[in-house]
């Protein structure tokens, strides 16, 4: 996917948060969590993460949850294999559920989420939607899984930074709790990648 190695925006954090609330889909069989390693963040991105307020974090998470639901729905109209279809359904439900959870968290803490539309427009989530929609039939499954791997790898790296950035205890605890679940979902995507020839 073009631009895979470029700076990933803070908005991608929502991938991780959505996975953390996906309780119904935690038990899909054993996976090799050693595969689930985070991406390397650049200095600029790390600085951006460290400057985020709790309102910024919540706003990005909620906005990208909505984008991820759209990405999963787009993939479900095009992808072919049963395993990838099931993964896309899992991601749809996880992100829809997390959006509701984040809304509740915002209400309970009194934090008003703020959204940076510019960052959302340049995010890999939006690029992933276009990639799945535009690619040829033979690569749609591959493109979706590749996008999921990249998004989750970045989410893990970002969460390691944000765990020490969030000020509200509820948000900080949410970030801490989500990391092992993100690893699980990343490992599942990587397992699906093998038979599809995704590298």
Most confident of 23-27, 102-106, 130-134, 195-199: 102-106
Within a domain: residue 84?
A: yes
- Residue 117 has a pLDDT of 54
Provide, for the chain, the percentages of residues in helix, strand and coil under a 3-state DSSP scheme, each rounded to the nearest 5: 75, 0, 25
Within a domain: residue 55?
A: yes
Within a domain: residue 33?
A: no
Of residues 81 and 125, which shows the higher confidence score? Answer: 81
Within a domain: residue 30?
A: no
Count how many domains the chain has.
1
What's the rounded Cα separation, in Å, for the pair 27 and 142?
23
Q: Which H, E and C letters describe 119-174, residue by residue? A: HHHCCHHHHHHHHHHHCCHHHHHHHHHHHHHHHHHHHHHHHHHHCCCCCCHHHHHH
Within a domain: residue 96?
A: yes
- Residue 135 has a pLDDT of 54
CATH number at residue 45: 1.20.1260.10
Share of the chain above pLDDT 90, in %: 15
Q: pTM here?
A: 0.75
Query: In terms of residue numbers, what domain contains 172?
Result: 10-20+41-196
Residue 89 pLDDT grade (very low, low, confident, very high; cuts 50, 70, 90): very high
Within a domain: residue 69?
A: yes
Within a domain: residue 94?
A: yes
Within a domain: residue 1?
A: no
- Residue 109 has a pLDDT of 95
| 139-170 per-position pLDDT tens digit | 688 888 888 888 888 878 888 888 899 999 99
What's the rounded Cα separation, in Å, for the pair 51 and 196?
39
What's the rounded Cα separation, in Å, for the pair 60 and 9?
10
């Amino acid at each position: 996917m073009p631009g895979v190695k470029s700076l990933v925006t803070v908005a991608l954090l929502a991938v991780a948060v959505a996975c953390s609330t996906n309780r119904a889909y935690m038990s899909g069989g054993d996976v090799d969590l050693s595969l689930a390693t985070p991406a390397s963040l650049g200095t600029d991105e790390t600085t951006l993460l460290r400057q985020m307020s709790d309102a910024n974090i919540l706003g990005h998470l909620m906005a990208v949850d909505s984008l991820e639901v759209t990405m999963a729905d787009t993939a479900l109209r095009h992808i072919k294999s049963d395993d990838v279809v099931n993964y896309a359904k899992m991601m749809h439900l996880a992100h829809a559920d997390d959006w509701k959870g984040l809304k509740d968290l915002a209400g309970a803490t009194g934090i008003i989420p703020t959204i940076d539309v510019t960052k959302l427009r340049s995010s890999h989530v939006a690029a992933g939607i276009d990639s799945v929609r535009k690619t040829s039939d033979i690569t749609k499954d591959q493109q979706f899984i590749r996008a999921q791997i990249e998004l989750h790898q970045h989410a893990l790296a970002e969460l390691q930074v944000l765990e020490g950035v969030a000020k509200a205890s509820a948000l900080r605890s949410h970030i801490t709790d989500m990391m092992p679940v993100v690893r699980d979902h990343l490992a599942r995507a990587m397992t699906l990648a093998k038979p599809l020839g995704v590298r």
